[in-house]
Amino acid sequence: MQVETSSSKYGAKHYPDNIREWKKEGNYFCFYTTETILEVRVIADKIIRFRYAADGTFQRDFSYATSDTLEEAPITFGIREWEETFEIFTDVLRVFIARDNLRITITDHEGKVINQDEMGYHWQHYLLKGGKIQYCSKLVQEGECFYGLGDKPTDLNLRGKRLENYGTDAYGYQKDTDPLYRNIPFYYGLHHGIGYGIFFDNTFRTIFDFGKEREDACSFWARGGEMNYYFIYGPDLLEVAESYTRITGTPELPPLWALGYHQCRWSYYPDTRVKEVAATFRNRNIPCDVIYLDIDYMDGFRCFTWNKEWFPDPVGLIKELASQGFKVVVIIDPGIKVDPDYAVYQEGIKNNYFCKRADGALMEGDVWPGKCVFPDYTNPEVREWWSSLFKSLAESGVRGVWNDMNEPAVFEMGTFPEDVRHDYDGEEVSHRKAHNIYGHLMSKATAAGMKKYLLPNRSFLITRSCYAGAQRWSSVWTGDNVSNWEHLWLASVQCQRLAVSGISFTGSDIGGFIGEPDGELYTRWIQLAVFHPLMRTHSASNETGFNQEPWSFGPEYEKVVTKFINLRYQLLPYLYSTFWQYASKGTPMLRPLAFVAQHDVATYNCTHEFMFGDSLLISHVSEPGMKEKSIYLPAGNWYYYFNDQVYNGAQTITVPTPLDEMPLFVKAGAVLPQYPVMQYTQQIPVTEMLLHVYYGDQEVKSLLYEDAGDHYGYRNGQYNVIRFKQASSPQQFRLKKKFYVNYETTYQQYRLIVHGLPFQPTAVIIDGKKVALLPENLLADGILSFTAVRNFEEIILVAGE
């Protein structure tokens, strides 16, 4: 064993010595040094898991992040022995392990280095707290950029930064505040056009240094537990994202209404105020699907109770709202009021469900209800109990839950002290190990309960804190942001970052939670949020009485805000299809430009532009009074959404930014399905699906997914997947369609609107049959509109015909 300098708090740094022995078992290999063991497990061609036992014994192999449905595809792999290394190979990767010191080098079969250890594994005794601090350091490759890590409010490229995960109630956070609410120990590296990812599955406080301490080293470590990480190769970053998401789990489809517009505030009460807000949406023809009840709906902030004075008839209220097309989501915090007359408290005490300090006293702390105790969600029995508590809420008609304060947040103390004990599914650990999964498991138990009691309906959950993998059961929002322009940019980068960290179902508090936006900021925020999977206005206007609703800023703004909420509802089939792509393949719904054009270095530091799904490129208007905005477009042709002007990509272009427009582009070649505007999802049956088709001379594929928008029929094949392929040339427009259909739609025909046709045809050929085009089919120069039956397979337009 080699030993370096020592310091008082942490012991000396230790490094592995040479490999003495090795063995193979199933799909893994173990390499033994004098005192330590490295395990290398081949999960897939492109996924290798590394575990390092610095003690010579592995800890329990247990994870709250990984999905148990990850299929291990049959793969070929093997081992070769070289003079200085062992080599484990798959069809795609070669992993070299140095005989001297266990340092890892991963290459492809051409010998291109993908990832390489700097010092590799090393560790220190954590003298003050016990256990070991586990490090791994890698070399930063030439030009390497780093991405990922959840909700960090900073530039997308993390090169030169050090960041950590320790869930924190970061009220009013700013750019570069760290850590925030979520704990996602997963990052990407990108160099020479090669992308890979590293998922460090460790729930202790984790720290990542991307060349900050030493320019040429990227290192990550944890204050306990095991060095246990997954290496995920691309080379495409989106493929890395998909693999990561499959490892940590894909979500179920949300109910379609959850993709509508959500209105929230701290707090809407009493019931008459809630009804008034709902009625205002309908009277003003502003679409909305969801209204939230923040903490004031409860009786003295006791979870699972109603304030009798403000909400005398919750069932009646929810029914009335439902008849107008609204769903109700209510907040539930982890703090349970210490109150001997309160059933939830009694049950928890009786069954020993609450967290305790090291010496057995209850973990008590003040939150909204006053003195509280906190369920130990790391205990499976407690999770069962917690799930069961949602029965009455579900039965009263509540359709979704909002989990807050689950970092966990405690007034004055900040969070739990480290000595608090947790079950950790039978392991019995301190808060040091359980902190980062406290909110994760609270939300898991909440989701399980709501799902159980809401069946056959789909349910909806939004949580503030979580660990890697929470996308399986919850959406998230970016927390307590501020009403200013910098936060509009932060909302955009945080949502992009969350999406590539496995959590696409995300949004920010539109307009800002703290403070008061003016009409312009609110409008620009609404525009951005049309392209966030979760679209919710929220504000902390309890004290000031300030209103943050679409109509709060005067008619000029209301008009534009309405236009964009309408656009959200028009785009629903596209958003939903993009969600299905995420739910089925793990593809992030939001894609930073570097993830869609990783061979173009000009995209590596882009933060303002991103793609939503395969076809739309968005940027937000980022300053007050902004007249135009410069945007980098990746290679290809792009239609400006509002006037069909075509721009060539691989360059920076400038577009005007009047208040009622925003930089929104459609990829040439794409098919963009649209619904008519409705005041809430599924208000009326769709009788004609609009397909906006953008002429392009490169082959482009598009997708339409459809199902009932609720229930689980899609799990039994009751859905439609329709794949479009445009393969046009300057003389011929050609759209092909392939489909799997097993769900009966309410419409029987499409209306196609073809944009940007470079010629004027006289007829359209649908499945070989010619139909003459009339003057009314020509909407404007280059824009044609005509109908086609739902099961068409090919549409052709020919120049001169």
| Cα 275 to Cα 328: distance, rounded to the nearest angstrom | 12
* Pick 271 or 509: Cβ nearer ligand MIG: 509
* Pick 180 or 445: Cβ nearer ligand MIG: 180
Could you say which of 480, 549, 614, 706 is catalytic?
A: 480
Q: How many residues bind ligand MIG (CB under 6 A)?
A: 12
Number of helices (H), then strands (E), belonging to the chain: the values are: 13, 52
Whether 480 sits among the annotated catalytic residues: the reply is yes
Integer Rg of the chain from CA: 27
Q: How far is the CB of 662 from ligand MIG (least distance, A)?
A: 26
| Cα 21 to Cα 33: distance, rounded to the nearest angstrom | 7
Q: How far is the CB of 775 from ligand MIG (least distance, A)?
A: 54
C-beta nearest to ligand MIG: residue:
266
What is the footprint of ligand MIG within residues 714-753 (CB under 6 A)? none
For 721-746, b/e burial (b = at least 16 CB within 10 A) is bbebbbbbeeeebbbbbeeeeebeee
Q: How far is the CB of 292 from ligand MIG (least distance, A)?
A: 9
Q: How far is the CB of 437 from ligand MIG (least distance, A)?
A: 19
Could you say which of 117, 242, 333, 404 is catalytic?
A: 404
What is the footprint of ligand MIG within residues 450-469 (CB under 6 A)? 464
Q: How far is the CB of 464 from ligand MIG (least distance, A)?
A: 6
Q: How far is the CB of 562 from ligand MIG (least distance, A)?
A: 25
Decide: is 369 part of the binding site for ligand MIG (CB under 6 A): no
DSSP state letters, 113-182: EEEEEEEEEEEEEETTTSSEEEEEEEEPPTT-EEEE-TT--S-S--TT-EEEE-----TT--TT--S-S-
Contact present, 445 and 64 (Cβ < 8 Å): no
What is the footprint of ligand MIG within residues 389-418 (CB under 6 A)? 404-405
Sequence-distant (≥ 6) Cβ neighbours of residue 338 within 8 angstroms: 345, 364, 370, 371, 372, 373
* Pick 178 or 661: Cβ nearer ligand MIG: 178
* Site map 208..247 versus ligand MIG, x via CB under 6 A: ----------------------------------------
* Pick 473 or 477: Cβ nearer ligand MIG: 477
* Pick 465 or 681: Cβ nearer ligand MIG: 465
Cis peptide before 634 (omega within 30 of 0): no
CB burial class (10 A; 0-12, 13-18, 19+) of residue 80? Answer: exposed
Edge-to-edge strand ranges of the sheet holding 590-592: 590-592, 609-612, 616-619, 664-667, 637-640, 646-648
* Pick 409 or 754: Cβ nearer ligand MIG: 409
Could you say which of 376, 407, 706, 707 is catalytic?
A: 407
What is the footprint of ligand MIG within residues 590-609 (CB under 6 A)? none
Sequence-distant (≥ 6) Cβ neighbours of residue 315 within 8 angstroms: 396, 397
Q: Strand, coil or helix: what is 184?
A: coil
* Pick 11 or 270: Cβ nearer ligand MIG: 270
Show the tokens assigned to 413.
């103390």
Name the nearest CA neighbour of 254 among 510, 29, 583: 583
* Pick 430 or 478: Cβ nearer ligand MIG: 478
Q: How far is the CB of 331 from ligand MIG (least distance, A)?
A: 6
Candidate list 407, 480, 549, 558; residue touching ligand MIG; CB under 6 A: 480
What is the footprint of ligand MIG within residues 324-343 (CB under 6 A)? 331
| Cα 322 to Cα 400: distance, rounded to the nearest angstrom | 13
* Site map 258..277 versus ligand MIG, x via CB under 6 A: --------x-----------
Contact present, 638 and 647 (Cβ < 8 Å): yes
DSSP state letters, 249-308: -PPPPPPGGGGSEEE--TT--SHHHHHHHHHHHHHTT----EEEE-GGGSBTTBTT---T
Candidate list 44, 48, 258, 295; residue touching ligand MIG; CB under 6 A: 295
Candidate list 294, 407, 423, 609; residue touching ligand MIG; CB under 6 A: 294
| Cα 75 to Cα 95: distance, rounded to the nearest angstrom | 15
What is the footprint of ligand MIG within residues 514-553 (CB under 6 A)? 538, 540
Q: How far is the CB of 400 from ligand MIG (least distance, A)?
A: 15
| Cα 115 to Cα 66: distance, rounded to the nearest angstrom | 23
Candidate list 249, 369, 479, 709; residue touching ligand MIG; CB under 6 A: 479
Q: How far is the CB of 402 from ligand MIG (least distance, A)?
A: 8
Q: What phi-psi label fits residue 635: left (phi over 0), alpha (psi between -120 and 50 degrees) or beta?
A: beta
Which residues are identified as catalytic? 404, 407, 480
Chain positions contacting ligand MIG, by CB under 6 A: 266, 294-295, 331, 404-405, 464, 479-480, 513, 538, 540
